[in-house]
Structure 1
Amino acid sequence: MTYERAGAGRRLDVALALLDDGDGSGAAELAREAVALAPSWAEAWFVLGEALELAGDKDAGAAAFRKYLEHDPSDRLGSSPRLALLGAADTPERLPPAYVRQLFDQIAPAFETQLVDRLGYCGPRLLWQTLQAFKQNLPESPTILDLGCGTGLAGEIFSVLGGVMDGLDISPGMLAQARAKGLYRALQSGDIATPPDDLCLRYDLLIAADVFNYLGDLASTFSSCAGRLKPGGLLLFTVEADLETPDDLRSAYSLGPGQRFRHDPMALRAWLSGNGFSLLAQDRAALRREKGLPVEGLVILAQKDQPAAISHSTGGATRAPWTLPGAG
């Protein structure tokens, strides 16, 4: 480490402490000194952006976040959503995968304590409650894919269905926590929008608890989900939702102050229908608390449409127009 980088590090440590104390101006002064000493240090530019934003200088804060992106295009610290919330960039279609991966790797060991005990998170339980009226739509021992399985909170609940369950998550740290519970047949690290090919080809049930909040445009994700379900299979998920803005003023998705996406119920229904799903249930619920207030969302259950039977002129036999590889 160079002398300049060491000096920048000392200044940035104090700047972070001042940020924690709510002193944006003081933090910005030290962060400016840090980037002057180490101008290629991405994290220093991000801290400067945070400090300037807190101090009320949004334009300068946006400029610092852009400088951060020059040095870290993968956006591990989440500069692009910060720029969108400042009105300095368009709303992204999703949060940066590197940002989501690092976020959950960092909090994995304390995830359940923070989310369940402190924030009252209840997404998996809400999914289970919604499924109860439709359990007859599942076979006796269903195959299940837990999208964004995290530490296995949903797996603990859905394992009572008695089938086999696979898990997928972008964070190796979260997967390590889930693996220790011994609930899953297979656990894979990967992106929920494009599940890896070495998972089972078709499932009876896909669950996604507090996962789609990190994606904005869900059209392609629902298409991927449809490709992973058997005909008649179920997709069960929670989303944070914009339930207050009038219908004619809502966008399909928007970023909330917590840097998670909120979705328009009408857009969700359109995306599902456009990818061959029928809506079975849509329940409004409080998913967790944030700053003491409930986070409103939806619990949605959709079913993949069955292939329509067609009659052929040769003998009048009725059969499905195609056979899905791996179906059944």
Structure 2
Amino acid sequence: MQPNQLTSGDVIADRRADYAKMLDESGEPDAAAELMEQALELVPGWAAGWYRLAAYREKAGNKIGAIEAYRQTLAASPDDIFGAGLKLALLGDIETPDQPPSSYVERLFDDYADRFETSLVEKLDYSVPAKLAALVATTGRDYALAVDLGCGTGLMGPEIRDHVARLEGFDLSQNMLAKAAEKHVYDHLAQADLSLPPEATGLFADGALHRADLVTAADVLMYLGNLESVFEAVAALTGPGADFALSVEDAGGGEGFHLAPSLRYAHSETYVRALCDRHGLEVVTVNKTPIRKDGANVISGILFLTHKPA
């Protein structure tokens, strides 16, 4: 049995976990936590079980117990595919990490790929690709090569394809890339990890630097905290005269970024402007706008169109 498996490998433990889920869904997280504790006595190395126990305890208001269960999740799954470290940061147990674990983000979107567009576009009124493409259209330019960072299932590609001679897409999730390939919009698709230093991201596998005259990053930067390495990568990707269009979740005031309860990062306008200044990008347009729903809440974002002077 692998400790990261969503099922424990033990029939009795799995049955108790199923009952725990039913209790939680009926509004009894305390009882759900008790049943999960019993399941974990049978399979103490079950990372997914510890994560579920942590969630039940957190919902029941047992902060100390939740922290202990998230710690156990990390102990059972050091690569942190469940994002337990992010949960510990929100609970004040550890410092907020500059980046989420790549393993967590990759698993999140691998699991989400099949229902991504239905969930995001049809149910959550996701609008970033169209709005970001509209900003790019204000330049009146046609581009020789565009690079779509965090391309996901390829929602950005069709929005800009008519004004791009060659379009490359990069994403951490192979399942999302497979969905993007089905659209037959991108000339090249490949895996890349934007949390790494530029030379290790996978963006320069062919050694080609300064090859793009347009880079887009639609709704990917909220799955990164510190964006310094991203802007370094964009500087290496783009030549003089290039445009860079990006979106972030709006952190409101302040000068930095923070981790939200959604486990996504929000960035302030001041923070992004400072990065642009450091990396030689002129801010052309800033547009604050709703970008999607999150349950009953409307998530506010900031769209930027920037330019690298010739």
User: TM-score when scaled to structure 1?
Assistant: 0.87
Tell me if structure 1 keeps the 8 A contact 2:143–2:213.
no
SS of alignment partner, residue 138 of structure 2:
helix
**How is 1:111-260 mapped onto 2 (pairs within 5 angstroms)?**
111-136=116-141, 140-193=142-195, 194=198, 195-196=201-202, 197-198=204-205, 200-201=208-209, 202-243=211-252, 247=253, 250=254, 252-260=256-264
- 1:296 paired residue number: 300
Question: 1:39 aligned to 2:48?
Answer: no
Tell me if structure 2 keeps the 8 A contact 1:170–1:189.
yes
Tell me if structure 2 keeps the 8 A contact 1:9–1:34.
yes
- 1:77 paired residue number: 82
Distance in 2 (alpha carbons) for counterparts of 1:96 and 1:17: 30
**How far did residue 303 of structure 1 move?**
1.4
Distance in 2 (alpha carbons) for counterparts of 1:122 and 1:106: 22
Tell me if structure 1 keeps the 8 A contact 2:255–2:270.
no
**How far did residue 117 of structure 1 move?**
0.3
SS of alignment partner, residue 187 of structure 1:
strand
Opposite residue 254 of structure 1, the aligned amino acid is: H
33-42 or 110-119, which moves further after superposition?
Answer: 33-42
Tell me if structure 1 keeps the 8 A contact 2:172–2:191.
yes
Opposite residue 16 of structure 1, the aligned amino acid is: K
What is the CA deviation profile of residues 243-269 of structure 1, one whole-angstrom value per residue up to 9, with x for unaligned ones? 2xxx4xx35111112111111111111
What is the CA deviation profile of residues 34-55 of structure 1, one whole-angstrom value per residue up to 9, with x for unaligned ones? 1111111111111111111011
Distance in 1 (alpha carbons) for counterparts of 2:9 and 2:119: 37
Aligned CA-pair RMSD: 1.8
Residue in structure 1 matching 2:276, options 272, 279, 291: 272
**How far did residue 212 of structure 1 move?**
0.2
SS of alignment partner, residue 163 of structure 1:
strand
Cα distance change of structure 1 residues 93 and 145 upon mapping to structure 2, 3 Å threshold: same
Opposite residue 224 of structure 1, the aligned amino acid is: A
- 1:17 paired residue number: 22
What is the CA deviation profile of residues 115-164 of structure 1, one whole-angstrom value per residue up to 9, with x for unaligned ones? 0000000010110111222234xxx3420111010111000111111410
Question: 1:305 aligned to 2:309?
Answer: yes
**How far did residue 4 of structure 1 move?**
8.1
- 2:103 paired residue number: 98
Cα distance change of structure 1 residues 167 and 120 upon mapping to structure 2, 3 Å threshold: same
Tell me if structure 2 keeps the 8 A contact 1:216–1:261.
yes
41-50 or 116-125, which moves further after superposition?
Answer: 41-50
The number of equivalent residue pairs is 298
Which protein shows a greater Rg?
1
**How far did residue 5 of structure 1 move?**
2.7
Distance in 2 (alpha carbons) for counterparts of 1:60 and 1:224: 41
Question: 1:5 aligned to 2:10?
Answer: yes
Tell me if structure 2 keeps the 8 A contact 1:35–1:41.
yes
Provide structure 1 residue ranges, at least 5 long, that are not aligned to the other structure.
Answer: 307-328
Cα distance change of structure 1 residues 21 and 303 upon mapping to structure 2, 3 Å threshold: farther
- 2:5 paired residue number: none
**How far did residue 298 of structure 1 move?**
0.3
Distance in 2 (alpha carbons) for counterparts of 1:254 and 1:130: 26
Distance in 2 (alpha carbons) for counterparts of 1:300 and 1:232: 16
Cα distance change of structure 1 residues 19 and 96 upon mapping to structure 2, 3 Å threshold: farther
18-27 or 292-301, which moves further after superposition?
Answer: 18-27
Percent pairwise identity: 34
What is the CA deviation profile of residues 193-232 of structure 1, one whole-angstrom value per residue up to 9, with x for unaligned ones? 4431225532011101100001111112111111111112
What stretches of structure 1 move > 3 A for 4+ residues in a row? 1-4
Provide structure 2 residue ranges, at least 5 long, that are not aligned to the other structure.
Answer: 3-7
Tell me if structure 2 keeps the 8 A contact 1:108–1:174.
yes
Distance in 1 (alpha carbons) for counterparts of 2:21 and 2:242: 48
Opposite residue 167 of structure 2, the aligned amino acid is: M
SS of alignment partner, residue 150 of structure 1:
coil
Opposite residue 308 of structure 2, the aligned amino acid is: K
